[in-house]
Structure 1
Amino acid sequence: MKIEQIYTGCLAQGAYYIVSDGEAAIIDPLRETQPYLERLQKDNVKLKYIFETHFHADFVSGHVDLSKKTNAPIVYGPTAQPEFEAIIVEDNQIFEIGKIKIKVLHTPGHTMESSCFLLIDENGKEKALFSGDTLFLGDVGRPDLAQKAENMTQEDLAGLLYESLYKKIFPLDDDIIVYPAHGAGSACGKNMQKETIDTLGNQKKTNYAFNQNSKESFIKAITDGLLPPPEYFGMNVTLNKKGYESYDEVFSKGLKALSPEEFEEIAEHSGALILDSRNNDIFAEGFVPQSINIGLNGDFAPWVGALIVDVKQPILLVTEEDKEEETLKRLSRVGFDNVLGFLKGGFQAWKENNKEIDTVHRISASQFETEIKNKDITIIDVRKDSEYQSEHVDEAFNKPLAYINDWINELNSEEHFYLHCAGGYRSMMAASILQARGYRNFTEIEGGFAAIANTEVFKTNFVCQTKVFPYIK
Structure 2
Amino acid sequence: MELSLAQFLDFSKDDAVQIIDTRISNEFLQGYIPGAIHIELDAIKTLNALKIMEQDCPIILVCTEGTEELAIKRFELLGYTQVRGFLKGGFTTWVEADQKIDLIIEVEVDELAMDIPFDEYLMILDIRTEDVYDKAHIKDSINLPLIEFSDPGSMSELDEHFNIYLIDDLGKELLLAASVLKKQGIHNIRIVQDGWDAVEFLKNKFTIVTSKKKPTNTEEF
Correspondences of 1:122-271 after superposition (within 5 Å): 256-269=1-14, 271=16
Structure 2 residue aligned with 1:446, among 163, 168, 193? Answer: 193
User: Which of 107, 126, 129 does residue 381 from structure 1 map onto?
Assistant: 126
Q: Is the 8 A contact 2:58 2:84 kept in 1?
A: yes
- Tell me which residue corresponds to 2:32: 287
TM-fit CA distance, 1:412: 2.5
2:209 paired residue number: 463
Does residue 338 (structure 1) correspond to residue 82 (structure 2)? The answer is yes
Deviations 1:323-381 (A, max 9, x none): 21221122112210100000111112211221111111221212222222344432110
Kindly indicate whether residue 91 of structure 2 is the aligned counterpart of residue 347 of structure 1.
yes
Q: 2:148 aligns with which of 375, 387, 403?
A: 403
1:73-132 CA deviation, whole Å, 9 max, x = no partner?
Answer: xxxxxxxxxxxxxxxxxxxxxxxxxxxxxxxxxxxxxxxxxxxxxxxxxxxxxxxxxxxx
Closer, same or farther: CA 271–404 of 1 in aligned 2, 3 Å: closer
Q: Is the 8 Å Cα contact of residues 378 and 396 (structure 1) preserved in structure 2? A: yes
Tell me, yes or no, if the aligned pair for 2:52 and 2:147 is still in contact at 8 Å: no
For 1:368, the equivalent position in structure 2 comes to: 112
Q: Specify the alignment match of 2:72 in structure 1.
A: 328
| Residues 1:417 and 2:144 are matched in the alignment | no
State how far apart, in whole Å, the 2-side matches of 1:273 and 1:309 are.
9
Kept in 2, the 8 Å contact 1:294–1:429? The answer is yes
| 1:391 aligned residue | 136
Q: CA deviation at 1:261?
A: 2.5
The alpha-carbon deviation at position 417 of structure 1 amounts to 2.1
C-alpha distance in 1 between matches for 2:212 and 2:12: 40
Amino acid corresponding to residue 345 of structure 1 in structure 2? G
RMSD (Å), alpha carbons: 2.2
How far apart in 1 are the matches of 2:30 and 2:48? 22
Q: 1:373 to 1:457 in 2, by over 3 A?
A: farther
* 2:54 counterpart residue number: 310
Corresponding residue for 2:217? Answer: none
Show structure 1 runs of 5+ residues with no match. 1-255, 468-473
Q: Is the contact made by 1:287 and 1:357 (CA closer than 8 Å) also made in structure 2?
A: yes
SS at match of 2:16: coil
Q: TM-score, normalised by structure 1?
A: 0.42
Q: How far is 1:289 from its partner? A: 0.8
How many angstroms does 1:273 deviate by?
Answer: 0.5
Query: Which amino acid in the other structure matches residue 47 of structure 2?
Result: W
* Pair 1:447–1:414, CA change in 2 (3 A): same
Query: Which one-letter code corresponds to 1:403 in the other structure?
Result: E
Separation in 1, partners of 2:14, 2:57: 14
Match for 1:430 among 177, 183, 187? 177
Mapped partners of 1:329, 1:386: distance in 2: 34
Residue correspondences, number: 210
Counterpart contact for 1:301–1:333, Cα < 8 Å: no
Q: CA deviation at 1:436?
A: 0.8
- Higher alpha-carbon Rg: 1
Instruction: Name the CA distance, whole Å, in 2 between partners of 1:291 and 1:444.
Output: 17
Asked if the contact 1:397–1:466 (Cα under 8 Å) also holds between the matched residues in 2, the reply is no
* Residue ranges of structure 2 left out of the alignment (5+ in a row): 214-221
